Every structure is written in C-alpha cells, then in structure tokens.
Amino acid sequence: MSMTETGIASGHNYGLREEIKAYWSVRAATFDLSPGHEIFSEPERLAWHRLIVKHLGPGDGRLALDIASGTGVISHLMDDLGFKVTGLDWAEPMLDRARAKAKARGRSISFRMADVENTMEPDATYDVIITRHLVWTLVDPKAAFAEWMRVLKPGGTILIVDGDFVNVSRAERILKALAKAMEKAGLLKADPLHAPAELMQSHNDIVSRVHFSNGARADLVADMLGDAGFESMTIDTNLRDIHKSQAKHWNYLKALSRGIQHRFAIGARKPEG
C-alpha cells in the first residue's frame, strides 16, 4: 500500500470504503469553512429547523440518530429542537471536531465511530434518523437502508437530505464556467473553500465507484427505501429557504448554479407493526 500526495492511501488491499473513510478524514480539517456544511447565519439555522420539524416533528426529548454526522452540524440543529442526539461517523478526525464543538457550545450530544451500513446500535432504539449528503456516496444503500430500518423504533421516521451532484445540467455548466473565468479575471470574488483542489481527483475517483455513480435522483432513493420496507414516503424538493440563506455566502453565479441542482429531502416512516 502506498500514500498519494493527498495523504490518502491506495493499493490492491485498500477497499473503496477505506478510501472514503480516508478522504473524509482529510476533509475534516476544512469541512466547517464551507457554506453548505456549517451554518453561517440565523436565517439558515431557522430554515433547517423548519425543514426538520416539517418531516420529523418536534424534538420533545425523542432519541435521534444523525448518521454520517461529520463535525456535528446537523446534530446541533437537532439538539436545538429538543432531540436527544447521537451522531455516528466513520472518520475519527470528524468525530474529534464534533466532540470539541459540542463541548465548546455546552451541548450534550454523543458522538461515536460507526459504519453507516453496520452501526452496531441496538434494535428498535431511535425515534428518528437524519442524514445529510451521505446517500449519494453509499457503497451499498440496500444494506444501509436495511440497517437504518433495524435501529428505528416501529413508527419511527427518517429524513434524508441529499441531491444529485453527479449530473450537471447545461445551465449549471455554463454558470460554473463563467464564474471560473470571472474569478480568474478578478471580476468576481472567489468562493469560500469547499474541497481543496488537490483532493478532487480522489473525490472523482471515489464517486465513480459508489452505487449512485450515475447520480442519486430522489425517485431512485425513494424506490430503494420502499424496497427496504419504509412507507409514507414524501419527496420534498422545496429547499428554497435553505438555499436562499446559503446564497449570501457564495458569489452570485455560484449561488445560481447551486439553486438549479437536483437537491431534495425524503421523509419516510417505519411501519408500526
């Protein structure tokens, strides 16, 4: 096994899941610097609160599992609303930052390492599950959805916030090319850091090999949730309030391009019986 210039290992005995774990471990250092990851304004925080309550209801001390919790951004939003939150992630550097953030903010949130397809959590434990921007990167979504069904209580609900970040429309390509040209010419300010350029090759290689390598469309994800036994499916593509509040932190061309991406929230329920 060898190490690339990005610090991500490679080799014949190094599987895709390990590459994903290594990639997000490296990304942890800059994750919270990017709008769309951390929350940068009160309007965005409130927009997220409205989306969560719309699909999961009020917290009221109910047990919530934040899967692929990263630095704990969504966990904190759930804690705001009165859920008792456990965050799971596979990357130790993400968990280190999540724990430090919770301690600094005086939040009682539990973070622990786990594989999202094999959480090791007890059966029928959680009232709700939430995950943001994970499903499109899953290696085996069928196994993951079965696992999430297992750890939910009967009647428990799930909220998946995700998008198709693979298929880029012609309009989005034009906007991104124009933004890049204007930034290079000094006519438009550069966007805040998202993914370091030196990691993009690793990112693109990983994405080409995950299950949704051709794009995670809402209907495809919903169909797989249905196959896993979830019911009362709701596909919500109206994330306008969140995108509008985030747009203030991007240049206007980047904000326009993000606004036309296929982004969605899917709510579903585990049957009572």
Rounded average pLDDT over 15-30? 90
H-helix or E-strand containing 145?
A: helix 141-151
pLDDT confidence of residue 169: 77
Cα–Cα dist 249/41, whole Å = 9
Enter the pTM of the model: 0.89
Rounded average pLDDT over 154-183? 86
Maximum pairwise Cα distance, the chain = 61
For 53-89, b/e burial (b = at least 16 CB within 10 A) is eebbeebeebbbbbbbbbbbbbbbbbbbbebbbbbbb
Task: Kindly report the backbone phi and psi dihedral angles of residue 146, in degrees, each rounded to the nearest multiple of 5, phi listed first.
Answer: -65, -40
| β pairing state of 110-113 and 84-89 | parallel
Rounded average pLDDT over 184-202? 72
pLDDT confidence of residue 203: 84
Assigned token pair, 216: 């995670």
User: How far does Cα 63 stand from its chain's mean position?
Assistant: 19
Beta-carbon contacts of 43 under 8 Å, excluding residues fewer than 6 positions away, are 241, 244, 245
H-helix or E-strand containing 200?
A: helix 200-207
Cα–Cα dist 231/222, whole Å = 10
Long-range contacts of 197-201 (CB under 8 A, 24+ apart): 198/5, 198/6, 199/6, 199/8, 199/23, 199/26, 199/27, 201/6
Cα end-to-end distance, the chain, whole Å: 48
Task: Report pLDDT digits (tens) over 95-116.
Answer: 999 999 999 999 999 999 999 9
pLDDT confidence of residue 248: 85
Task: Report pLDDT digits (tens) over 79-100.
Answer: 999 999 999 999 999 999 999 9
Rounded average pLDDT over 4-17? 55
Beta-carbon contacts of 117 under 8 Å, excluding residues fewer than 6 positions away, are 138, 139, 140, 143, 144, 147
Cα–Cα dist 156/152, whole Å = 6
Percent of the chain with pLDDT over 90: 67
pLDDT confidence of residue 228: 98
The amino acid sitting at 131 is T
